[in-house]
Amino acid sequence: MKKNIGLLWATAVATVMGISSANAQVKVPEEITTLMNKYTCSACHRVDARLVGPAYTDVAKKKYTNEKIVELIYKPVPANWPGYPPMAPMTQVPKPDALKLAAYINSLAPKAAKK
C-alpha cells in the first residue's frame, strides 16, 4: 500500500510540475517519458535541469556505459555526485527498461565537435 501511495504521489508531483514530453524543453520520446513516470525518475530528475538529482544531460557528460548506468540505477554511488542527496536504489526497474533509460540518457551526450 505504501509503495502505491508513493508512486501516486510522485506521479502527481511530476504532473503538477509539467514534466511531460509535451512540456519539456527537450523532446523526449513517449516511451521514455512513460518509463520515467512509471519508475518515478521524474520525481527527482529532469532532462536538462538540476532538480533533486542531476540532469540527464549532466549524467550523459560522465560518459558512463549503458551497463554502468544500469548498475548505478540499482546501486547508486553518492560519491559520484557530490552536492546531491543520495539516490535510493531503484531495484524495481526491470533491466530491459533500465537499459532503455540508460540508452536515452547516453543519447543526450554532447557530440564531438568536428574539425
Instruction: Return the residue matching grid coordinates 511530476.
Output: 14
Asked if residue 46 has pLDDT above 90, the reply is yes
Which residue would you say has higher pLDDT here, 24 or 33? 33
84-101 burial by CB neighbour count: b if 16+ within 10 A, else e?
eeebeebeebeeebbbbb
**Which residues define the annotated binding site?**
41, 45, 87
pLDDT at 26: 72
The C-alpha atoms of residue 63 and residue 48 are separated, in whole angstroms, by 16
pLDDT at 23: 41
Give the confidence band of 112 by pLDDT, cuts at 50, 70, 90: low
pLDDT at 42: 95
Is 2-107 in CATH node 1.10.760.10? yes
Asked if residue 12 has pLDDT above 50, the reply is no
User: Closest Cα to residue 59, out of 36, 34, 38?
Assistant: 36
Give the domain ranges of the chain.
Answer: 2-107
pLDDT at 111: 76
pLDDT at 25: 62
**Which residues define the annotated binding site for heme c?**
41, 45, 87
